[in-house]
Amino acid sequence: MSSEVILVVEDEPALQETLAYNLEKEGYSVEVAGDGRSALDAARRLQPDLILLDIMLPEMDGFEVCRILRKETNSPILMLTARDDEIDRVVGLEVGADDYLTKPFSMRELLARVKAQFRRSRLLREEMAKVKEETPEQEALAFDNLVINITRREVTLGGDPLQMKPKEYELLVYLARHRGQMLSRELILERVWGWDYIGDSRTVDVHIRWLRQKVESDPANPLRIVTVRGGGYRFEG
């Protein structure tokens, strides 16, 4: 039996107990922490597969805990918020939680969100294992008239340098190194933007659009960066 470990960080004893009880009933191993500092200790010690994190906590609030943990772990963090004005910060760039639930919430809703996070991590892990780097690290990648000079961080098209934002460049290099492979938006977001960025895969679409305007001769009918039905992109060269 797979027993994923969930760390429940909640200072209200009744809710802590209810959460632990219901998650254990679903077959998860549950550990609890009642304040921010012990949450950090527990997360480092247990390496949980998912962290359920309340915001209003003694010692150190959930925002701070999340910010620190985000630098140390890829495990999904699901935040529990009590106030509407917390939601903006949770979903904003600064904290980096994967999802949130507003109190009060039903156990059924909570379990659905937990399962969704595990499903997402599993899919991402499977895709990562499948996707291989086509082109090893090298100084330059050339595709017909498109040349990416890695050493100089410069891209030229027909010999003319292209102006690129840092993320456009990184995205292009990531795509180019995985030429011919379908890459999902989620994987691209995770690999190019990393976990500092709270996921909205439309960010990927926007950057792809910008890139196409630079590297495609007809951006409306892209030949280099093609859209793959079923949610991703493939670099053709």
Between the alpha carbon of residue 8 and those of residues 62, 78, 118, 155, the distances in Å are 12, 10, 15, 47
C-beta closer to Ca ion: residue 56 or 147: 56
What does the block give as tokens for 166? Answer: 């840092």
| Contacting range for Ca ion; rule: CB under 5 A; set: 55-63, 105-113, 117-125, 223-231 | 55-63
Residue 46 φ then ψ, to 5°: -95, -20
Check: CB of residue 48 under 8 Å from CB of residue 9.
no
Partnered with residue 101 across adjacent β-strands are 80
Rg (CA), the chain: 21
C-beta closer to Ca ion: residue 8 or 162: 8
Interface with Ca ion, residue 11, by CB under 5 A: yes
From the CB of 232, what's the least distance to Ca ion, in Å?
39
Check: CB of residue 100 under 8 Å from CB of residue 109.
no
From the CB of 104, what's the least distance to Ca ion, in Å?
13
| Contacting range for Ca ion; rule: CB under 5 A; set: 8-16, 179-187, 210-218, 228-236 | 8-16
From the CB of 31, what's the least distance to Ca ion, in Å?
17
Interface with Ca ion, residue 86, by CB under 5 A: no
C-beta closer to Ca ion: residue 57 or 188: 57
Check: CB of residue 101 under 8 Å from CB of residue 34.
no
Give Cα 215 to chain centroid, integer Å. Answer: 27
From the CB of 155, what's the least distance to Ca ion, in Å?
49
Query: Which residues form the interface with Ca ion (CB under 5 A)?
Result: 11, 54, 56
